[in-house]
């Protein structure tokens, strides 16, 4: 999916919601456990119940890898039933030396057919560039993450009196443009988001951290919206585990609908 | 495997060689391609031919993920035939918010039964600590990697006039001790290895970058050896692709034997 198609979907659905498919066998409703593939069955019902309210789904790879090759099969089946017009993000935090990143890029963009993958920046340019060689595919680079550990290294100060994450933003944004790269910016640092916006005014951000992690959608919009929206805001646990009975998909839809309505209203307030 | 067992194996085999299983369908001998699982068959023959010469095998996850769930099955089968006394390293470069890192740790330490996993430090303490909660299992944290991109961020200078990777070493070594944590330090920076050794004198290093990437084993030993060896030196392509015919496993053994003999002599020179 290219940038223009993504922006069109945001306008059409009045939503910039990404639903995180952090599907955990220990948390899904127990009546699904006697299905042949409970993880896929859970995902199938969530996708069917919510796909008109969100513009992206984001499977978190750890939740599939914990089930080994069986987990990868659940993921492969899930990807096949997500509609074409939805942006598919692999939350994988990959990144390695060039020849290995090339293999990861093929794994996620060709074998699995994701539109985007989250990538960790620590290993620098040749670890990220292989992901940028695919048409209409995206790198979503970690910049300022939503967790408490973000202060350990991302917020270290450089000898140029800049946060380390600012160097990542400045350097990485020179490797590509806003047609192929986005950044992860956590909702738990709304004021920092203002600094990030100043460095990369036109890029999209993938924003985790609203809901269970405590970030606020209003604050994210206040500091992160740009003239083409520029935000994909993720919610995982709050939506997919909204219910725990046979009606879990309906409950997930209710929760997603509440967030989509809030997004619609925030977009309107901001002149979209 | 615990630290003492690892050190015993190094003494017994007079080797600190790790063989990287970067098994690529495009590079393995063509006569294997009509096997049911060519990747597994290649690995099986490599493991059988070399396991007495190395103390660790390191499958690189990207090379399995490119084949999707089939690739994970090849990996699962490979892990089952690696002997008990060999240290099994998942070269996975994982790392995410706490609840996700917990899932990755279970995936690699329980589901797949690896002894160790490479972890990226960018997301800080709560992204690494979940991997430290398992007995006799290891985090191998990226510190100074072997690739050219290591200069982009790892070698940025902080306001305390230290390299960024030095902060990673100092901070991360306070999260655990040398019984559960190692560091990745590339062979392509031998003089830098001296600085790293000064910060973490007693930790093991996993050292990629000899062979195809240009690093030298003598230099690595000069600057990296400590009184308990403290080095696990990886070679992947140079060994596993030493031959391309029906005798590929013999050729791999010849290459591994040459490196093991060099290691044995370096250990002896250094009083082991």
CATH of the domain at B186: 3.20.20.70
Chain-chain contact of B148 with A158 (C-beta, under 8 angstroms): no
Chain-chain contact of A67 with B150 (C-beta, under 8 angstroms): no
Is the pLDDT at B234 greater than 90? The verdict is yes
Q: Which of B100, B111, B147 lies closest to A127 in CB terms?
A: B147
pLDDT at position A56 is 98
B168 to chain A: nearest residue by CA? A153
Give the mean model confidence (pLDDT) for residues B65-91: 98
pLDDT at position B268 is 96
Q: Is the pTM of this model over 0.95?
A: yes
Judge contact between B14 and B264, C-beta under 8 A. Answer: yes
Q: B5 in contact with A at a CB cutoff of 8 Å? A: no
Range of the domain at A56: 3-269
Is the pLDDT at B119 greater than 90? The verdict is yes
Chain A residues in contact with B70 (beta carbon < 8 A): 69
Chain-chain contact of A125 with B167 (C-beta, under 8 angstroms): no
Q: A271 in contact with B at a CB cutoff of 8 Å? A: no
Give the mean model confidence (pLDDT) for residues B145-167: 96
Is the pLDDT at B212 greater than 80? The verdict is no
Lookup: tokens for B84? 């008990």
A95 to chain B: nearest residue by CA? B93
Burial zone of B84 (CB within 10 Å; 0-12 exposed, 13-18 middle, 19+ buried): exposed
Tell me how many residue pairs between chain A and chain B have CB atoms under 8 A apart: 195
Average of per-residue pLDDT values in chain B: 97
The count of residues in chain B is: 272
pLDDT at position A162 is 95
Please give the Cα distance from B230 to A9 (Å, whole number). 54
Weakest-pLDDT range from A207-221, B29-43, B145-159, B258-272: A207-221
Q: B63 in contact with A at a CB cutoff of 8 Å? A: yes
Judge contact between A40 and A67, C-beta under 8 A. Answer: no
Is the pLDDT at B179 greater than 90? The verdict is yes
Q: A170 in contact with B at a CB cutoff of 8 Å? A: no
Element (H, E) at B195: helix B190-199
Instruction: Indicate the SS3 state at residue A134.
Output: coil
Q: Which of B107, B152, B159 lies closest to A157 in CB terms?
A: B159
More confident residue, A190 or B90: B90
Buried residues in A233-246 as b, exposed as e (16+ CB within 10 A):
bbbbebbbbbbeee
Best to test chain A binding among B63, B152, B164 (most A CBs inside 10 Å)? B152
pLDDT at position B14 is 98
Q: A59 in contact with B at a CB cutoff of 8 Å? A: no
Q: A127 in contact with B at a CB cutoff of 8 Å? A: yes
* DSSP-assigned beta bridge partners for residue A18: A56, A234
Task: For residue A93, indicate whether it is catalytic.
Answer: yes
Chain-chain contact of A94 with B96 (C-beta, under 8 angstroms): no
Q: B164 in contact with A at a CB cutoff of 8 Å? A: yes
First-to-last C-alpha distance (Å) of chain B: 21
Give the mean model confidence (pLDDT) for residues B39-44: 98
Domain count, chain B: 1
Chain B residues in contact with A123 (beta carbon < 8 A): 93, 120, 142, 145, 147, 149-150, 154
pLDDT in tens, chain A (272 residues): 999 999 999 999 999 999 999 999 999 999 999 999 999 999 999 999 999 999 999 999 999 999 999 999 999 999 999 999 999 999 999 999 999 999 999 999 999 999 999 999 999 999 999 999 999 999 999 999 999 999 999 999 999 999 999 999 999 999 999 999 999 999 998 889 999 999 999 999 999 988 777 889 999 999 999 999 999 999 999 999 999 999 999 999 999 999 999 999 999 999 88
Judge contact between A233 and A18, C-beta under 8 A. Answer: yes
Please give the Cα distance from B88 to B78 (Å, whole number). 11
Give the mean model confidence (pLDDT) for residues B223-244: 96
**CB proximity under 8 Å: B 10-39 to A:** 22, 24
Chain B residues in contact with A156 (beta carbon < 8 A): 158, 164, 167
Q: B97 in contact with A at a CB cutoff of 8 Å? A: yes
- B74-80 long-range CB contacts below 8 Å, 24 or more apart? B74/B23, B74/B37, B74/B39, B74/B40, B74/B43, B75/A69, B75/B112, B76/A68, B76/A69, B76/B112, B77/B37, B77/B40, B78/B21, B78/B39, B78/B40, B78/B43, B78/B44, B78/B47, B79/B112, B79/B113, B79/B114
């Amino acid at each position: 999916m290219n940038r223009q198609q993504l922006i069109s979907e945001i306008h059409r659905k009045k939503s910039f919601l990404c639903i995180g498919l952090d599907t955990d066998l220990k948390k899904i409703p127990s009546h699904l456990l006697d299905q042949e593939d409970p993880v896929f069955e859970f995902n199938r019902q969530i996708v069917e119940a919510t796909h008109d309210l969100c513009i992206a789904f984001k499977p978190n790879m750890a939740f599939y890898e914990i089930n080994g090759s069986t987990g990868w099969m659940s993921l492969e089946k899930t990807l096949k039933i997500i509609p074409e017009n939805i942006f598919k993000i692999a939350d994988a935090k990959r990144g390695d030396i060039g020849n290995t990143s090339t293999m990861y890029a093929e794994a996620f963009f060709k074998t699995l057919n994701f539109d985007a993958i989250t990538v960790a920046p620590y290993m620098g340019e040749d670890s990220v560039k292989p992901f940028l060689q695919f048409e209409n595919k995206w790198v979503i680079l970690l910049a300022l993450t939503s967790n408490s550990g973000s202060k350990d290294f991302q917020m270290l100060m450089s000898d140029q009196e800049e946060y380390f994450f600012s160097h990542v933003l400045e350097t990485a944004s020179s490797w590509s443009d806003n047609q192929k790269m986005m950044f992860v910016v956590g909702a738990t640092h709304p004021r920092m988001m203002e600094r990030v916006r100043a460095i990369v005014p036109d890029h999209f951000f993938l924003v985790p951290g609203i809901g269970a992690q405590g970030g606020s959608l209003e604050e994210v919009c206040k500091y992160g919206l740009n003239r083409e929206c520029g935000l994909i805001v993720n919610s995982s646990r709050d939506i997919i585990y909204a219910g725990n009975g046979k009606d879990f998909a309906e409950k997930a839809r209710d929760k997603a609908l509440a967030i989509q309505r809030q997004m619609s209203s925030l977009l309107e307030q901001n002149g979209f």
